[in-house]
Structure formats: structure tokens, C-alpha cells
């Protein structure tokens, strides 16, 4: 709706008085605003502004060449095995499990003082190094590219723990993501998601029965 308004000066007298008639063109923008608001509402409701986050993982191949001996070799080198059980509980053991002693399997939690504290303790060296690097990056001493390169070097370095994540069928997807999250928080570069073996199931059962299973088999 546009409107042409003629203003003949009304009662006011103008100085100079060169123009006798002033024509003001006034366009009413109200419907335009209405329409725009409608469109904005539509776009706001129909869009997802924040793109979802993602986690990149590399899985081991299903190669049959990786035998149980290889797995044992990794285990023997003091790898940490996390067993995600149902009901939001998490167990862990280091190195080869002791099937006779049910206490070799330890119960932990997803809370900050649970598995994270343990992993951070095991990975202190790398965590400290990476924190130093972060400090340097904040002070702009090193570039982003240098930072990522050095971080991956530290993560893959010798002496950093290897973590094997095994999830029971009852564990939820959230448990898995939480466990993977801990890897990131604790700066662990070498971790793998593996299938649950009967050994872990046995260990868990033994733990729940407080060693009765192993005692029975020893007799």
C-alpha cells in the first residue's frame, strides 16, 4: 500500500518559500513486515541451526589374521580393558585377567572420579604434555597445525596406555559413547572397540558371585 500525500503547507509558512507544494511519498511497510515475520517463523521452526557433533572412530578390521595370540600380546603389555556392562556399570582390568581372583576385575563408574580418574592417572605423562601444548597454543607460540601434529605424536607415543573397550549386549549406546568420550578427555590415542569374549562374561559373573565361580572350579 503506497500513498501519495499532498501537503500544501498547512498553516505553516516556510522560509524561502521556493517550493509551493511538497509531495511526500509514503509507503506503508506493515504488510511487508508481517510477511517477513511469517517467513522468519517458518525458517526458525523448520531448520536445525546447530549441526550435530560427530565422533570419528576407526574400527579394527575383521581380519582373521589377527589371532588370539596377538590379542594376548597386547593384553600382556598392560593394556587396560574396559568392560561396559548393563545398568550403567563399568568394569576394568589391566593386563591379563586373573581368573582365580575375582578382585582383578574392578567396578568403576562413568563419573569423573570413576574411570576417568583411573585413566588420567595411567596417562599422566601424556596429559601433562598435552596441557603444556594447549597452554602454548593459547599464548600463540605454536600454530594449530603444529599443535595437532604434536598432540597426535604424544598420543601415539610409547608408554601411553592401550585401552580395549568391550561392551556387553545389555550396555546402551550411551555407555559406548561415554567410554569413547573418556578416551578423548584422557587423551588416550590407542584404543579399540572389541567384541566381548566368554572370558569377560565369566569374569563379570565371578565378580558378581564374589569369586564363588572360580572357587568352584578350583575344587
Chain residues that interact with other proteins, rule: CB under 8 A: 10-11, 26-30, 32-33, 36-37, 39-40, 43-44, 46-62, 84, 112, 116, 120, 127, 167-178, 180-181, 184-187, 193, 195
User: From the CB of 8, what's the least distance to other proteins, in Å?
Assistant: 10
With respect to other proteins, which residue has the nearer C-beta, 138 or 218? 138
Q: Residue 25: in which H helix or E strand, if any? A: strand 22-27
CB 76 within 8 A of CB 95: yes
Q: What does DSSP assign to residue 99?
A: S
Nearer to other proteins, 84 or 203 (CB): 84
Return the number of the residue (96 or 190) whose C-beta is nearest other proteins.
190
The Cα 181–Cα 186 span in angstroms is: 8
In angstroms, give the least distance from the CB of 46 to other proteins.
Answer: 6
Chain Cα centroid distance, residue 84: 17
Contact assessment for residue 125 and residue 161, using Cβ atoms and an 8 Å cutoff: no
Measured from the CB atom, the residue of 11 and 17 that comes closer to other proteins is 11
In the complex, the smallest distance separating the C-beta of residue 44 from other proteins, rounded to whole angstroms, is 6
3-state secondary structure at position 106: strand
> CB of residue 113 vs other proteins: minimum separation in angstroms?
10
d(CA 99, CA 60): 26
Q: What is the closest distance, in whole angstroms, from the C-beta atom of residue 60 to other proteins in the complex?
A: 7
Name residues whose C-beta falls within 8 Å of residue 8's C-beta, 6 or more positions apart in sequence: 21
Looking at the Cβ atoms of 176 and 213, the one nearer to other proteins is 176
Amino acid at each position: 500500500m503506497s500513498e501519495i500525500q499532498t501537503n500544501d503547507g498547512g498553516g505553516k509558512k516556510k522560509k524561502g518559500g521556493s517550493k509551493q507544494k511538497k509531495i511526500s511519498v509514503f509507503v506503508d511497510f506493515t504488510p511487508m513486515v508481517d510477511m517477513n515475520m511469517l517467513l522468519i517463523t517458518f525458517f526458525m521452526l523448520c531448520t536445525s541451526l546447530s549441526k550435530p557433533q560427530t565422533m570419528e572412530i576407526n574400527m579394527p578390521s575383521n581380519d582373521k589374521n589377527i589371532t588370539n595370540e596377538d590379542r594376548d600380546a597386547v593384553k600382556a603389555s598392560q593394556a587396560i580393558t574396559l568392560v561396559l556392562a548393563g545398568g550403567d556399570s563399568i568394569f576394568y582390568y589391566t593386563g591379563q585377567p586373573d581368573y582365580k581372583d575375582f578382585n582383578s576385575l574392578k567396578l568403576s563408574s562413568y563419573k569423573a572420579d570413576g574411570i576417568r580418574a583411573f585413566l588420567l592417572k595411567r596417562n599422566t605423562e601424556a596429559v601433562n604434555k598435552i596441557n603444556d601444548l594447549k597452554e602454548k597454543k593459547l599464548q600463540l607460540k605454536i600454530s594449530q597445525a603444529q599443535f595437532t601434529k604434536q598432540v597426535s605424536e604424544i598420543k601415539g607415543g610409547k608408554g601411553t596406555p592401550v585401552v580395549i573397550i568391550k561392551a556387553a549386549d545389555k550396555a546402551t549406546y550411551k555407555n559406548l559413547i561415554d567410554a569413547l568420550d573418556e578416551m578423548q578427555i584422557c587423551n588416550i590415542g590407542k584404543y579399540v572397540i572389541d567384541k566381548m569374549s566368554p572370558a569377560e562374561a565369566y569374569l563379570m559373573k565371578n565378580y558378581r558371585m564374589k569369586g564363588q565361580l572360580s572357587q568352584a572350579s578350583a575344587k
